[in-house]
Amino acid sequence: MIRVAIVEDNRDFSGALLVTLESEADLRPAGCWSTAEAFLEAIENEEARPDVVIMDINLPGISGIECVFRMKQRAAGIEAVMCTVHDDEENVFNALQAGACGYILKSDGADRIVHAVRSAAEGGAPFTPRIARMMLGFFSQRRPSPPGNALTARESEVLQLLGQGKSYRQISDQLFVSLSTTQSHVKSIYSKLHVHSRVEIMKMLKIG
């Protein structure tokens, strides 16, 4: 059973998410909060911590991105999937740098959100094809990369296939590797992304 929390200030959207989660046999709602501050206070109790949190970005008070950063400092085991209307580079990279394992859009629909939650709980990195292409562009523009931080040829191939909208299973079949190997490649990509500082990313993307 995967315990799933929701941090979302739009009551209609959070209500719809709750109904969706409750209809899935392997998912269990772990609470719904309209502010980051209330969620962070709740997870001070270890027994109340979810496995995965669906996190909005625009929240009253501190943002969802800052909430993920603080959450990871307090409870590193909680996986965060950003679920937002924003697909711009600044929000995407700031969220991933903060520690989110995935980034999807509200417009992707309930099925995609449920899939993203399951993927996050299994150690995956769910994101839309557009964001996969954005990540690939980030690494291709970074010349030269610090030793050990450049993508391998296989990691680049995996990211390109994700950018084409292929699932982990489809990628595994196409590359003739196991599903766990594909997941390991994606984890490595995320690890290499996280070593870049927020300042470096914003400078490269000419943000701010």
- 141 or 36, which is more confident: 36
93 and 164 both lie in a single domain:
no
Report phi then psi at 145, rounded to 5.
-85, 150
Q: E strands, 91-166, where?
A: 102-105
122 and 134 both lie in a single domain:
no
User: In this structure, what CATH number is given to the domain that contains residue 14?
Assistant: 3.40.50.2300
Per-residue pLDDT, averaged over 167-186, amounts to: 89
Per-residue pLDDT, averaged over 125-148, amounts to: 72
Q: Which of 107, 126, 145 is the last residue of a domain?
A: 126
Q: First vs last Cα of the chain: how many Å apart?
A: 42
31 and 116 both lie in a single domain:
yes
Residue 69 in this model has a pLDDT that exceeds 60:
yes
- Can you give the pTM of this predicted structure? 0.80
Q: What integer pLDDT is reported at residue 94 of this predicted model?
A: 84
- 186-191 LR contacts (CB < 8 Å, sep 24+): 186/124, 186/125, 186/158, 186/162, 187/123, 187/125, 188/152, 188/155, 189/125, 189/135, 189/151, 189/155, 189/158, 189/159, 190/96, 190/101, 190/125
50 and 136 both lie in a single domain:
no
Confidence label for 63 from pLDDT (cuts 50, 70 and 90): very high
15 and 45 both lie in a single domain:
yes
Per-residue pLDDT, averaged over 86-114, amounts to: 86
How far apart, in whole angstroms, are the C-alpha atoms of residue 186 and residue 124? 7
Q: How many domains does the chain have?
A: 2
86 and 157 both lie in a single domain:
no
Structural domain boundaries, residue 16:
1-126
72 and 99 both lie in a single domain:
yes
Residue 125 in this model has a pLDDT that exceeds 90:
no
The 10s digit of each residue's pLDDT in 12-22 is 999 999 999 99
200 and 99 both lie in a single domain:
no
Mean pLDDT of the chain: 85
User: In this structure, what CATH number is given to the domain that contains residue 193?
Assistant: 1.10.10.10
Confidence label for 88 from pLDDT (cuts 50, 70 and 90): confident
55 and 146 both lie in a single domain:
no
121 and 183 both lie in a single domain:
no
Query: Closest Cα partner for 51 from 77, 74, 21?
Result: 77
Three-class DSSP category at 54: strand
121 and 185 both lie in a single domain:
no
61 and 82 both lie in a single domain:
yes
Q: Which of 126, 144, 162 is the last residue of a domain?
A: 126
Q: Which of 67, 93, 126 is the last residue of a domain?
A: 126
Confidence label for 99 from pLDDT (cuts 50, 70 and 90): confident
Give Cβ neighbours of residue 89 (< 8 Å, ≥ 6 apart).
Answer: 134, 205, 207
Of the ranges 105-114, 154-163, 171-180, the best mean pLDDT one:
171-180
Confidence label for 148 from pLDDT (cuts 50, 70 and 90): low
Q: With the C-alpha atoms ordered 19, 29, 71, 150, is the resulting torsion angle positive or negative?
A: negative
Residue 208 in this model has a pLDDT that exceeds 80:
no
How far apart, in whole angstroms, are the C-alpha atoms of residue 143 and residue 68? 29
